[in-house]
Chain A
Amino acid sequence: MAMNLQGIWAIYRYEIQRTKRTALQSVVSPVVSTSLYFVVFGGAIGSRIPEIDGVPYGAFIVPGLLMLTLMMQSLSNASFAIYFPKFIGTIFEMLSAPVSFYEIVIGYVGAAATKTLLLGAIILLTAWCFVPLRIEHPVVMLLFLVLTAISFSLFGFLIGIWADNFEKLQVIPLLVVTPMVFLGGSFYSIDMLPEFWQTVSLFNPVLYLISGFRWSFYGIADVNVWISLGAIVVFLGLCLTATWWIFKTGYRIKK
């Protein structure tokens, strides 16, 4: 057995089935809440806010909001997916099965990323109904979508491994990632900030993702798109390294 493809597929399919079972919570809910942003900021308030770099405000915030949903959903999908078996004790089966840790990661992260991409597609289509959108660089947009979905799903998986209670499962997404997304230029261009805060914002890694993602839509960015791509690749590399270390040591998995 060179690679346990059946095992990967079993984990992947199990997770996709779980999403189907919880569609209201895992698909409908984030689509509705993101759409409310489009309605309020795009339709109601957005029409009274001047364009930013020639882009209507309602359209300007779409990449940032999309990125916010992608990150949060990737984190919650993957972290819960691995935390839940730990919590209810079914993880024993996976640990006793002939699957390598990398196959487990591929199964879980692949499923979480798939769900996130599906959600991203639905939200994008919904946004089209409320605000005037254009995508100037669709390939780069797809690349950002896929890299963000994978890297944040991986990050979520690591949180799920690390967490030993439900509170910890929520701490990083709510107290670290959400503020970073809101302060990372989701709703504004950093040019609108005083110079000091522009410099501070450059230390926020999420800024690079949102900036690069917005560039793929409108060709405008706070930082160079290649730097943005480099940032997400570095983040992915860090997550992979942490995953490798966890599996090498059995941290919080094996005694």
Chain B
Amino acid sequence: MFALSLADAKVAGGLGLIECDEPPMCRLLPHDPSAKPAVTDPIISIQGLTKTYDSGFEALKGIDLDIREGEIFALLGPNGAGKTTLISIICGIVNPSAGRVSVGGHDIVRDYRKSRSMIGLVPQELATDAFETPLATCRYSRGLFGRKPDAAHIEKTLKQLSLWDKRDGMIMALSGGMKRRLMIAKALSHEPRVLFLDEPTAGVDVELRKDMWTLVEGLRRDGVTIILTTHYIEEAEAMADRVGVINHGDLILVEEKDTLMQKLGQKQMLLDLTEPLAAIPARFADLGLELADNGSRLIYTYDTRAERTGITSLLSDLRDEGIRFRDLTTKQSSLEEIFVSLVQEG
């Protein structure tokens, strides 16, 4: 089986567009499949959740969602879709208007101490006390969440995030990337079972983003359930087990990422022609072929779910027509393209 690693995929496809020579076998493998969690009871259960702000703005319109223990769930949506409101309600920062949420079986209102002690939150903004030290602020976070001091755990966390050397310096002296990592260290200080990452790589450079992905993968191996909101579709595509798309306060889709890409993804076959074509021959009019690159590239879009993709007959007809090509590649719709199409439909 031909498979691409994450690094290969990025090199090959930019935003996760994978091209390869054996279409049926091509797939993006963002992580080791053996690391995927078994289907278990949901660690987070959301039922009929609504939120209407005092201004009358309806941020959430009856969300139902289960998050499985140990999975990485990517919540996608445009600005103002309700992603942060949803996270804020689960974490206790915003009051829900109606509906129920439980974390680890504990209701977030009635049993807020138990539910919140299981959660770590990394907000979008870099909100830290500039005059504190990383070590002190992590100790503070651990204590705030009701955990007894554990110097070894704090040390391990800061070392994991490459902040141990900076532990006694002022936070204001840290770079933006270090501050972002510190936010994660703080969220992990009390050993949460669920970690919310709200736009964790917004505005960070490519290298740090890669580090963040590695870190998230490591956390998942440690059994932490991760809920991730992001604008970077490649991030969800690379890391997530499942994807949810939220728009205008409605959860319009929840699907296994791979299934989603298979189900909704259109595939294209790209033929680099030996001789450019001035126009597509009339006999191919019904196939929806497109010409690109001044007639030197022929594009055939087909549905992977169809019983017959039409590839074999197309190639045969091209040969009959005397149209020759020097290269053939295929590409599958990225999650971004799927997302844009879903949001536009919604």
A residues in contact (CB < 8 Å) with B: 1, 4, 6-7, 9-11, 13-14, 17-18, 21, 85, 88-90, 92-100, 250, 254-255
Contact = CB atoms under 8 A, between A and B. Distances in A.
Interface residues of B, number: 34
B140 interface: yes
B113 A92 contact: no
Nearest to B94: A255
Contacts of A254: 93-95
B266 interface: no
A237 B119 CA distance: 35
A10 B119 contact: no
B261 to A, nearest CB: 33
B144 interface: yes
Contacts of A90: 127-129
A95 B144 CA distance: 10
B148 A6 contact: yes
A89 B121 contact: no
Interface of A is mostly: helix
Nearest to B128: A90
Contacts of B88: 255
B93 A95 contact: yes
Contacts of B53: 255
22 contacts: A1-B113, A1-B146, A6-B145, A7-B143, A7-B145, A10-B139, A10-B143, A13-B143, A14-B136, A18-B131, A85-B129, A88-B130, A89-B125, A95-B91, A95-B93, A98-B112, A98-B116, A98-B145, A100-B113, A255-B53, A255-B93, A255-B94
A88 B143 contact: no
B123 interface: yes
A255 B91 CA distance: 13
Most buried by B among A17, A92, A94, A100: A92
Contacts of B148: 6
Given A17-B136, A250-B95, A93 B146 contact: no
Contacts of B129: 85, 88, 90
B105 interface: no
Contacts of B93: 92, 95-96, 254-255
Interface centre among B91, B143, B147 (most CB of A within 10 A): B143
Contact of B144 (A21, A88, A97): A97
A96 B186 CA distance: 13
A255 B121 CA distance: 18
A74 B318 CA distance: 86
A21 B262 CA distance: 57
A1 B144 CA distance: 13
A136 B147 CA distance: 46
Contacts of A94: 144
A6 B146 contact: yes
Contacts of A92: 91, 93, 121, 123, 127
B200 to A, nearest CB: 15
B169 interface: no
B127 A4 contact: no
Nearest to B116: A98
Q: Considering the complex of A and B, which 3 residue pairs feature the smallest CB-CB distances, nearest first?
A: A10-B143, A89-B127, A98-B113
B144 A93 contact: yes
B92 interface: yes
Contacts of A7: 143-146
A21 B119 contact: no
Contact of B146 (A4, A13, A18, A95): A4
Nearest to B148: A6
A88 B127 contact: yes
Contact of A14 (B54, B114, B117, B140): B140
Contacts of B92: 95-96
Given A1-B113, A17-B136, A89-B125, A97 B145 contact: yes
Given A88-B129, A98-B117, A6 B147 contact: yes
A61 B131 CA distance: 38
Contacts of A1: 113-114, 117, 146
B141 interface: yes
B144 to A, nearest CB: 4
A71 B82 CA distance: 44
Contact of A10 (B113, B114, B117, B140): B140
